[in-house]
Amino acid sequence: MNPPRHTQVAVVGAGPAGLLLALLLRRSGVDCVVLESRDRSYVEQRQRAGILEQSTVDTLRRAGAAARLDREGLPHDGIELRFGVRRHRIDFPALTGGRRVWVYAQTEVVKDLVALQLQEGGPLLFEAPVRAVTGAAADADHCTVHYLHRGQETTLTCDYVVGCDGHHGVVRRAAPQGARSVHERTFPYSWLGILAEAPPCYDELVYAHSERGFALASMRSPAVSRLYLQVPNGTEPDAWPHERIWEELDARFGADRTWRLNRGPITRKSVLPMRSSVTEPMRFGRVLLAGDAAHIVPPTGAKGLNLAASDVTVLARAFVHLYETGSAQLLDSYSDTCLRRVWRAEHFSHFMTTTLHIAPGQSSFDTRLQLSQLDRIATSPHAAAELAENYTGLPTGP
């Protein structure tokens, strides 16, 4: 089959942002093509976030992409905070009027969306790396995407291009020189993450503040644990033998020495740097950014995938409004609308990160401030509600 030559919206990147945008557009009658530089196997195995906000689940359900999520996803009604020798549960539904989150890995979201895209005939081209995007100027009447298809230079003309190809993607660099501002912060620690064939011994996520460093107990399924340790930047995964990982996890979670994790074979280890980044604006003429192409958050607040879903929900609504009415009002306000939520999520993720981690050389004064903040959350319904509302997700859109 010959590659398409023209479309209304070209979507670059077949991660959850690009695939969900394509699904929302297709269901509303807007023509689009998705281009992905990697092969299908790689895309479906990229390990990323595993927590879905209520609004993300609602969007997937409305789009007809939540059948397996509803069968296999794990709904969670809270998280547990551990600090000192204390354990405190945050009850999401009680504090937010009924909202909750779901544990459902990004790999599974992507598999579901890829299957729908291919099943319903929407053009999705794997191994089609984009080389350049032209036509980003405000007065351009169309864009052109230059990419490789089966080793041949190919072009795709379109009304708009949406970059869902990540922080280092091609689309982000298509903005005219000086047209964008980038705000960034790098944190002085990383996460060592593992997947283990061990049933979680906890029902909900556990966030632990320890003098030894932060730890997080999550899960992928009732039989697979997903666990994280704060480690120094530059750490190599092989520097942590399996036994050392288990011992350190037990030490950080079990400050009162009464709690131990279930152990099992560790099937994957990786180190994840912690950083924040926001690109403003998220639109440059006919080129728009969504998801990681526009913003990065540290994973402590579980916001990355959910921000991407929020972006494309707003963007799909704007494109549908444009093609149905001829009005660009919603498209013109896309960047401002999304950035309000982005900066709120950045603030929450920064708060969770700096409250729970021990920075190199941190003073006892700063540690006591952290413990005071955690005590405030544990003793004040208002402080607990603020955390719960941000964790389960703020409203999408204006």
Q: Which residues are catalytic?
A: 76, 207, 299, 303, 391
Beta carbons within 8 Å of 342's beta carbon, 6+ residues apart:
278, 294, 295, 307
Element (H, E) at 319: helix 304-325
The closest of 200, 204, 214 to 352, measured between CA atoms, is 214
**φ, ψ at 80 (rounded to 5°):** -115, 135
Q: Are strands 51-53 and 32-35 parallel, antiparallel or unpaired?
A: unpaired
How many angstroms separate the CA atoms of 93 and 95, rounded?
5
Residue identified by tokens 């340790």 is 229
The closest of 285, 273, 345 to 309, measured between CA atoms, is 345
The closest of 299, 306, 298 to 392, measured between CA atoms, is 306
Q: What is the CA radius of gyration of the chain?
A: 22
The DSSP bridge partners found for residue 163 are 12, 289
How many angstroms separate the CA atoms of 256 and 251, rounded?
9
- Surface-to-core class of residue 320, CB atoms within 10 Å of its CB (0-12 exposed, 13-18 middle, 19+ buried): middle
